[in-house]
């Protein structure tokens, strides 16, 4: 019989229909986690809120189970996540490469959180691909590349990897281990990866999990303030500058493009995380369906895409701009100059003219 996708979004039905860990793999993992192991938990390059939340939730959970756990990120995370419990323990590859290489080489298990292709681990991904420990992916991005992973807990139709870490803990029979620090991290994952429940948040289950996190002690308004109300004056002025002076509106394609040069960043004393969120602002215009932020880095232009409705930002990025992501939020890079990159965007948009011409109605 061909299974029909249920209208009901309950966890048991969704887990039955989504590709995920089979019963055999679940029991193998339960056995593996049943006795103390050396474990490294990792997340993707340029960690965002979901990366940090799923990483730290897993870190706390595994430590509570009695494992010897290290938490590793490829590069510096934004300061507005430093309040999260456990951030002081995080090792940063761009600062302590040798130590991390040793930890990876000696780990029996390695959790790969919020990324589904080994390259997204950034600089140390070649090392990660070669070490003997078992690699377990927990992720919600489309088109997973399962090479190099021993276990793939990949569920695309999910708010965040944090929600999957919650599912994983429950699947391991460890729901009683959930506590406030874990819940704070998982809540951060969900709230940041859904733009505070404004996208990727149409599953009832996401709210059921969120309700459980709140009942474990999460103070939702406090977490919101800790993440979002922490701007420096420079960061807010950079945002004003970006929208006032660096936004190009391409009416024909319902697209807005914001570009920030190295000089702009220098002028406003750029710190990691300062440009996060800027890409969302142009979408506040009714007429805009696609927003693109170009940020000039040392050797490339970072590209950030956000879209409304069904416009597949990830497809455009994977076709033309060396990246990918989700339907409405994707990222990539360009190795051309800023000018050339803007030209290239203008060149490819006509291909999407029809798809970009829509108005969201009730």
Residues forming the site for ligand 5GP (CB under 6 A): 48, 141, 304, 323-326, 329-332
- Residue 112 binding target from Mn ion, ligand 5GP, none, CB below 5 to 8 Å by type: none
**Which residue number, 146 or 217, has a Cβ lying nearer to Mn ion?**
146
CB of 330 to ligand 5GP, least distance (A): 4
Q: Which is nearer to ligand 5GP, 149 or 181 (CB)?
A: 149
Separation CA 223–CA 201 (nearest Å): 18
Backbone angles phi, psi at 359, to 5 degrees: -130, 130
| Residue 75 CB, nearest approach to Mn ion (Å) | 17
**In the beta sheet, which residues pair with residue 331?**
304, 324
Judged by beta carbon, residue 109 or residue 317, the one nearer ligand 5GP is 317
Q: Which does 304 bind (CB under 5 to 8 A by kind): ligand 5GP, Mn ion, none?
A: ligand 5GP
Name the burial class of residue 117, with classes exposed (0-12), middle (13-18) and buried (19+) by CB atoms within 10 angstroms of its CB.
buried
Kindly state the smallest distance separating residue 332's Cβ from ligand 5GP, in Å.
Answer: 5
Distance in Å, CB of 7 to ligand 5GP, minimum: 28
Residue 12 Cβ, how far from ligand 5GP at the closest point, in Å?
27
Residue whose C-alpha is closest to residue 160's, from 71, 73, 54, 82: 54
| Smallest separation (angstroms) from ligand 5GP to the CB of 120 | 6
Closer CB to ligand 5GP, residue 70 or residue 304?
304
Q: Which does 14 bind (CB under 5 to 8 A by kind): Mn ion, ligand 5GP, none?
A: none
Site residues for Mn ion per CB under 5 A:
50, 114, 161, 193
Shortest reach from residue 165's CB to Mn ion, in Å: 11
Q: Residue ranges of the alpha helices (H) in the chain?
A: 11-17, 23-32, 49-64, 97-106, 125-130, 161-171, 180-193, 204-215, 220-228, 233-245, 262-267, 313-320, 338-348, 353-356
Contact call for residues 213 and 100 (beta carbons, < 8 A): no
Nearer to ligand 5GP, 103 or 301 (CB): 301
Q: What share of the chain is helix, strand, coil (3-state, %, to 5)?
A: 45, 15, 40
Q: How many CB atoms lie within 10 A of CB 200?
A: 21
> Shortest Cβ contact with Mn ion: which residue?
50
- Strand 134-139 to strand 109-113: parallel, antiparallel, or no bridges (unpaired)? parallel
205 binds, among ligand 5GP, Mn ion, none (CB under 5 to 8 A by kind): none
Residues 266 and 299 sit within 8 Å (Cβ to Cβ): no
**Binding partner selected for residue 235 from Mn ion, ligand 5GP, none, CB under the kind-specific 5 to 8 Å limit:** none
Which of Mn ion, ligand 5GP, none does residue 290 bind to, with CB < 5 to 8 Å depending on kind?
none
From the CB of 273, what's the least distance to ligand 5GP, in Å?
Answer: 11
* Beta bridge pairs of residue 42: 72, 112
Q: Which is nearer to ligand 5GP, 29 or 258 (CB)?
A: 258
Chain residue at closest Cβ approach to ligand 5GP: 331
Query: Which among ligand 5GP, Mn ion, none contacts residue 141 (Cβ within 5 to 8 A by kind)?
Result: ligand 5GP
In this complex, which beta carbon is closest to ligand 5GP, that of residue 312 or of residue 332?
Answer: 332
Backbone angles phi, psi at 156, to 5 degrees: -70, -40
Candidates 256, 259, 315, 338; CA nearest to 290 is 256
**Is residue 107 exposed (0-12), middle (13-18) or buried (19+ Cβ within 10 Å)?**
buried
**Least CB distance from residue 141 to ligand 5GP, whole Å?**
5
**158 touches, from ligand 5GP, Mn ion, none (C-beta below 5 to 8 Å by class):** none
For residue 280, the cross-strand partners are none
Which secondary-structure segment (H or E) carries 332?
Answer: strand 329-334
């Amino acid at each position: 019989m061909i299974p029909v996708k249920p209208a009901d979004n309950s966890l048991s039905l969704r887990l039955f229909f989504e590709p995920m860990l089979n019963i055999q793999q679940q029991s193998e993992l339960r056995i593996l986690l049943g006795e103390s192991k050396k474990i490294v938990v990792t997340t993707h390059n340029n960690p965002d809120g979901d990366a940090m939340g799923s990483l730290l939730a897993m870190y706390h959970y595994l430590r509570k189970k009695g494992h010897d756990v290290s938490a590793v990120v490829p590069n510096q995370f934004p300061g507005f996540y430093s309040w999260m419990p456990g951030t002081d323990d995080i090792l940063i590859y761009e600062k302590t490469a040798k130590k991390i290489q040793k930890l990876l080489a000696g780990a029996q298990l390695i959790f790969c959180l919020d990324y589904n292709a080994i390259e997204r681990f950034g600089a140390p991904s070649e090392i990660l691909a070669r070490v003997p420990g078992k690699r377990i992916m927990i992720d919600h991005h489309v088109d997973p590349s399962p090479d190099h992973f021993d276990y793939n807990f990949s569920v695309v139709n999910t708010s965040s990897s944090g929600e999957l870490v919650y599912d994983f803990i429950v699947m391991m029979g460890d729901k009683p281990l959930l506590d406030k620090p874990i819940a704070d991290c998982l809540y951060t994952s969900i709230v940041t990866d859904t733009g505070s429940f404004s996208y990727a948040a149409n599953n009832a289950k996401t709210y059921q999990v969120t309700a459980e996190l709140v009942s474990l002690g999460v103070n939702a308004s406090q977490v919101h303030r800790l993440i979002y109300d922490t701007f420096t004056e420079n960061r807010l002025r950079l945002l004003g500058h970006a929208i006032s002076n660096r936004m190009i509106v391409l009416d024909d394609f319902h697209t807005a493009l914001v570009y920030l040069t190295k000089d702009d960043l220098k002028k406003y004393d750029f710190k990691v995380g300062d440009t996060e969120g800027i890409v969302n602002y142009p979408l506040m215009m009714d007429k805009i369906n696609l927003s693109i932020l170009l940020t000039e880095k040392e050797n490339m232009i970072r590209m950030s895409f956000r879209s409304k409705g069904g416009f597949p930002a990830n497809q455009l990025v994977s076709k033309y701009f060396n990246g990918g992501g989700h339907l409405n939020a994707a990222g990539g890079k360009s190795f051309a100059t800023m000018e050339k990159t803007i030209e290239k965007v203008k060149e490819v948009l006509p291909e999407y003219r029809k798809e970009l011409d829509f108005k969201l109605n009730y």
